[in-house]
Structure 1
């Protein structure tokens, strides 16, 4: 397998990143093709890059994954409290699924959390994203059911958190 590099997305990649994100959510059955609320948000990588940190996974010259990193107080946080780093919209191109791209992206988020001295890394994940839930649990994240929410009828978001202490990942 070719090496995956994680870096900030370039402005010339924003359209590609937006389409990759939408395609991953659609292919996984996590969003309906006629969703007029969240599908445009998934496609708007430029906005995420302007208001948060937009990372990409690149294999060769190909963008094969992405994640949005939001610091507490930023416009893209939903769950983060003071001391929390949050990530959102983790997406892997369907053709790259199972190749460790998602793990590499989450690992980079954990590296950022340790180097920036955040206390926890948190995220919401749609209840249908069972493959992602396995990845999160395997990396030490724990469920925080008291923070679960249902932003619209039929969409249940599950909260996950991983405590970071002095740059060392510890379980919640």
Structure 2
């Protein structure tokens, strides 16, 4: 079981590389490659949203960015919602439940803050993450689907939280 906590500045480079590699390996990058620099810039995410890291011992093996409405990284969050983005797990930690632990950490934060719903967007081609979200109870939110580039389509998902 991984330890989940806020990423430290000394971990930003490793966290950025985990995200960039996971997205590249899954084929979830726009053809122009512009998103790689966004994924690698974990320091900016940490300054403008909440950057979590999953650790195996002291070694970063996963990450997720937690956004609130109005954060510069929020894409679809509305008042009363928490959004997460850029969930990524290192290939050497794949299949060990790290992704689920990261989503659980987001859900814990959302409940602690009194959010009514957690939302996210995921590439329509990202089958493994979509299966995880659906197993965890997330449902499609088609009115929030969108396309940041001509070659990437993002599907909205939400999970309503118990009051």
TM-score range, shorter chain: over 0.9
Cα deviation, residue 150, structure 1: 1.3
1:91 aligns with 2:101: no
Matches within 5 A, 1:147-166: 147-166=144-163
Paired residue for 1:134, among 131, 138, 157?
A: 131
Q: Within 2, Cα distance between the matches of 1:132 and 1:165?
A: 23
1:121 aligns with 2:118: yes
- Gap regions ≥5 residues in structure 2: none
TM-score for both structures, normalised by structure 1: 0.92
Cα deviation, residue 120, structure 1: 0.5
Paired residue for 1:102, among 99, 103, 112?
A: 99
Paired residue for 2:19, among 1, 12, 21?
A: 21
Secondary structure in structure 1 of the residue aligned to 2:71: coil
Secondary structure in structure 1 of the residue aligned to 2:156: strand
Paired residue for 1:42, among 39, 44, 49?
A: 39
TM-score for both structures, normalised by structure 2: 0.97
Q: Aligned-residue CA RMSD in angstroms?
A: 1.1
- 1:169 corresponding residue in structure 2: none
Contact 1:65–1:92 (Cα < 8 Å) also in 2: yes
Give the direction of change, closer, same or farther, for the CA distance of 1:148–1:32 in structure 2 (3 Å limit).
closer
- 2:143 corresponding residue in structure 1: 146
Cα deviation, residue 9, structure 1: 0.2
- 2:63 corresponding residue in structure 1: 66
Cα deviation, residue 165, structure 1: 2.6
Q: Within 2, Cα distance between the matches of 1:91 and 1:156?
A: 18
Alignment length, in residue pairs? Answer: 163
Runs of 4 or more off by more than 2 Å in structure 1? none
Q: Within 2, Cα distance between the matches of 1:120 and 1:159?
A: 13
Secondary structure in structure 2 of the residue aligned to 1:56: strand
Q: Within 2, Cα distance between the matches of 1:44 and 1:58?
A: 19
Contact 1:143–1:158 (Cα < 8 Å) also in 2: yes
Contact 1:148–1:156 (Cα < 8 Å) also in 2: yes
